[in-house]
Structure formats: C-alpha cells, structure tokens
Chains A and B, each alone.
Chain A
C-alpha cells in the first residue's frame, strides 16, 4: 500500500496534538517555539520568539535547542503540514510534549497575531559564520548581535593585534582602533596585524588593511591620534565595549576614567616579559582600574616593553583572552572576568584567578553620580577630582 503526502500529513495530525494560534499566544514565553520552514521563508517573517530549525536539519539539530525530552515544544511551518510531520518525528525520538501549530504561520498572521521580520544573515554570512551558528550559545541570533556590535580597541600593538584579528574574524560589525604610532621592525616579533610591507605606515592603516582582507563584513574605523582627555569621550561614546591594549599607565587611567563617565565596560589586558593580566572592568558593577591599582608605579620601577623586553607570543595569549571576554559580553554568555583577575605566567605555564573587589573608597568609582574629571594625566596618573555626571 502506498501513501500520498496528504495521507502522511493526515496520519501525523491524528498522532500529535495541534494548538490554535490563540492558544499559542497564551503560551508565549513559556514554551519553545521552533520554526521548521526553510531559512528563506523565515527571513520573510516569523513568530517573534521562534527559533529557526529547518525541517531538513531538525533531527540532527534538536538537541542543540532542547535539553529536556519533556520540554513543551511547539513547531510551526507555513500551513501546518510540515510541522505535523516534524512533530511526529520528534515524538518518535522521545520528545513527549510536542505540538504543531494548526494552520501554521499563515493562519497566525491572518488571525492578526504579532510577528517579526527577522534580521537575517546573507547566504555568504551563513557560510562564513557556520561554526558559530552551530553553537547554541551563539546561533544566528548571536551572530547577528555580533554584526551589530561596536568594539573600540585602544592600541594596535601586541595586545590589540590578536584581539582585533579575532574580533574581526568573529564578525564584530564595527571595530574602532586608536593608535598614533607607525609600524617599525621591532613590532613584527609580536604585533601580528602588521608585516614588513607596512614598515613606516601608520599602525591603524596597517590594521585596517589586514582586517579588511580578513573580513569584509567589518567596518574598520581608525583614529590615528593619541588618546587624550580632549578626544576620549567623543571616541568612546560610539562603542559598546573598549578593549584596553595600551602600553602606558597614563592611557590606562584615562581609559578607565572615560569608561566610568560613559558606563562602558573595559576588557583590560596588560603584559610584562612573560606574564600577563586580564580582567573586565564593568562600571559600577565591579572594581575599576583605580580600585585595583590606586597609583601607578614610578617609571623607574615600571619599565615598558621597549626597555624590559616582552616574549612575542605572550600578547598573543593575553590579547586572545581579551577577545574571548569581549565576545562573551557582547553575546551575554558565560561568566565574565568582572571581579576576577586572571594572571598568566608563561614560564611556569600557570594561570591563577584572583578575586578583586570594588573599593568603597575608590576616588574614581565610589560615587556613580560623580565620575572622575578627565585631565592630562601626569606620570602619577592622579585624578584631578570628580565632576557631576552629565545628564
């Protein structure tokens, strides 16, 4: 005996429950809604909280979207046929609480229920970011979020290089880079954004060329200037997160104080010879840089890389950790290093996670309404005082 497509659909509908659009509306927020249509159909419009899992991928991908076999799942397609067949399959796989939307998305719209026009990736982007999209923690939604994000990197040097490369590869849509320096030979042992053809060129321009060749989705904004109290707020205000890969104390205190003004998280990395530190300064949620180091060491006790040397791969590790923290924050996944300082010693290959706390007497962040005044910091990086928060 042969069965037609309609026979199969009718048989499926007898074996699985169907819900009406009005019932689904009442359940919204309490159930997992999966759209089993093809991605081009989804792109034309979908139920707001639905996740796209095309019918052809359903059996393989369901485990990434639903952990519990008893979770309440409602499937829908265009008219209710494909979702009935899909629901029957999930039932056979052991999912006990699967329903199909009667009449599908067509009836949902006709009944006047809310729907969205999803932000969609292009086919090229679905290919480029496919390994991200496969991760349930990222998915297409997360990838779109990254493409809409804006990250500023302070310094196109040792830390900024790997951070910028990974953020660009990950598809962070806008990457700003501040650096006033030019590429020289001594940079190439660790600053992997640059190469021998770029010697003498501005670092931000060299960075732009490298990143544009890696990912044309990313808009690169360059600031070929020294970060100062005059320009810092204007530059920072366009961004969601600042990655601090600076190479001197005054800049680090300036970054901290400006980020407190604008309430922008700073993903901090710093290195010395074979050791590095990484943390996240989330304004007023955790400690700031001044909570951690109220004062910089005097210059004679804090030689920089050009005086003390730095092992080339070290910024590769620390800058990559900064990229990891940045992407996690943008995606809202995992546990950030807010309140924790990760230290790395390359010689012993040892990581330690130290607990750091907000200092209730911190001159910079103890009063949310009075962020520190921005000044040209001297070698002691002392804050000039505080000002009332604008707005």
Chain B
C-alpha cells in the first residue's frame, strides 16, 4: 500500500500528458475530470510546448459521464480536436473517472485510427501510478500504436543511430538542456541521436525511425527501463543503461567511453573528442579551485539533496569529487520501486571509498524535511531541492538551489546540468546563490 505523502514532488499517471506535450506537433487529449490537466500544467508551472497547458483538449467528465459513460463524449472531443488543433498525432490519456466507470477508450481510438487519423490511447488513471512510471507507458503506447505502423518496412538498421531515453520531460526541470547536451555529446562520438523530445528532436518523423536505431541508451536510475526493455523485446534492439545523471568531467567521460564500447565505435575518435571536452572543462575547474581556495569568507562545505534517484547519485559524484562539497543525508523522493533501490544504494556507495553517504527512499518529503531540521553538521551547508524547500533552507541557514519540481522560485528555459557544460553551469548556479548572500 502506498502511504500518505507530504509535499509531493511528482504528478500522478496523467502527468505523463507532458511527455506528449514535449513531442513537437503531438497533442494530448484527456478523457478525465475537468481539473486534471490544469493540475498537471500548474504543477510544472512553465512551458506549454506546442499544444500544452490551456490548449489541451479534455472531455471534462461530469457526473453524467460517470453515470452514463463517456465514450460518445470522447469521440466528439477527438473529432473537434482534429478540426481545431493543428497537430499530427492525438494521444488520448484516460484518467481516474474514465477508468473507474470502465469507458472503453481503446475502442474509440481504434475507431479513429481506422478512419485514417493518427491516434494513440494510454490508460493513465491517477490512482494506478505516477508520471515517472506512466512516461514509459506513453512512450510504449506511441511505439506500438503509431511508430510500428509508420516505420519503413525492412529498413536497414543503422548501428550509428541511437534512441535516447533520459530526462522525463518537465519532471526533470532541465530536460531541454540535458537532452541538448546529451545529443551534442553523442554526435561528438560520431553517432546520430534520436532525442525524441523537445526542440532538438526531429518530431514525429524522428519517432518513426526508432526501429532503425542500432541500440537504445537509457540515462536514468529506473524510469524508462520499461521503454528500453520493451524495445529490446519488440525490435531486438540492445540497450545500454547508465543509471544516474552524468554531471561534469569524470562521469560524462565514463558515459561516453561506455557508449563508445557498447556501439563499437572507433576508440581513437571517441578519445579525441573526450580529450577536447576535458581540456575545456578542467580549465574552468582550475579557475574554480582558485576561487574556492582564495575566497576569504564562507562557502558551503556540505549539502543535502531532496531529488530523484538519478539526480541524487549524479550530484553526489560530481559535487564531492569535482567541486569539493561533501554530500550529507540524501533523500530520494521519486517513489523509486523497491526492486531498484539496492542498485541505487550501491551506486551511491561507490561514490567514495572513504565515506558513507546516508540515503533515504521515501516520496513523503515532509519526513525528509524533518530529518534535515534535525541534522547538524559543522560548516556552511547547501540544500538542493524543490520550491517546497526554500523556507526550510532559510530556517536552517542553508544556501538553497531550486533544482527540482515544483519550482516556482526559478525560471528555467534551456539550462541543463548534464554533461561537461551542465556541470559548469551547476557550479555557476550554486555560487551565484551563495555569493548573492553577501552584501
């Protein structure tokens, strides 16, 4: 049984409507109560994409639909969507009400497809799972109900083409920047990347080439494993799983070498690219060292993070080794399924051979806050979390970087923390907040 949560930091299954919003020229259509879509877009706060936010069509199920069923209403709204919204793919997500009532939205959508329009159905009842889980369901549904039928039959499989599954759009507030950097890095190795979401993607034309890729890359602790496993089974595509966010020099280089080996790329090309990137990166880290060592006043020496598993592990590896900020108690609040927790603990433990980094898995972030209130460490501290944590940081005298949703205290457009460039940006952001505290 899932327990109570204070200060939720993810949405329900229907939150994966943002996965659709992140695909250029796709439109989510909700068969749900009237408030569901607004809840989701107001949770994430910024970024409506092509047809997100208030543009999202919805059946706005009322009591009558609950009593008499809402399939006719769904058909009507889908027809209206085709006329009104300029989009190439409709993805129907059904919410709690439709699911409890038992509307057969799948049948309605099959009818739409039979009439020649592109449409996909995903059950996304909020009580069934959260948006991190249903992100995979949405992707798999688009693959099964759209990509599979559109893919070029008998197309040559390109060993240099990779499908990338990394940041869950919007749930990772830096998804656009992270995907942009990841694509740049993979291209630096000589690969072509189907990045699939956001302005760097080729939209639906790119999606239909998913079966042509030589392999899949998953950069995520656990969310998205269902996608790459599904593609492995469906198209016999192998996948490489890199289980945390690679931030900065060490971890980005590690990722790139793993990719180069996995894809059997020319190692000398990869090493030349890595060397170029590292020169630029470590030049900045040297300047950082001068700043850190010569600053005469106070800077953060340790930090807590309240974030998802991929960020908690990636931040720890980066901040400890490349910035010198020591991870204290860490809190993973993304509702990581139990089966993945042991591997994540091991990965975090591998961050350092000489210190233990305590970590808690619990989506109830109120408890994380209680623990941080009770913690006491020598020296100036930093808290990396969501907007919920700003007051806590203030009360406990911690510096604060808002880097998780919901994040009303920060405007994010294309900033990313992944990669060499992301690591440098993260350093800038941390010390921007810290230095702003000096008069």
A binds B: no
Which residues from chain B sit less than 8 Å from chain A, CB to CB?
none
Residues of A within 8 A of B (CB): none
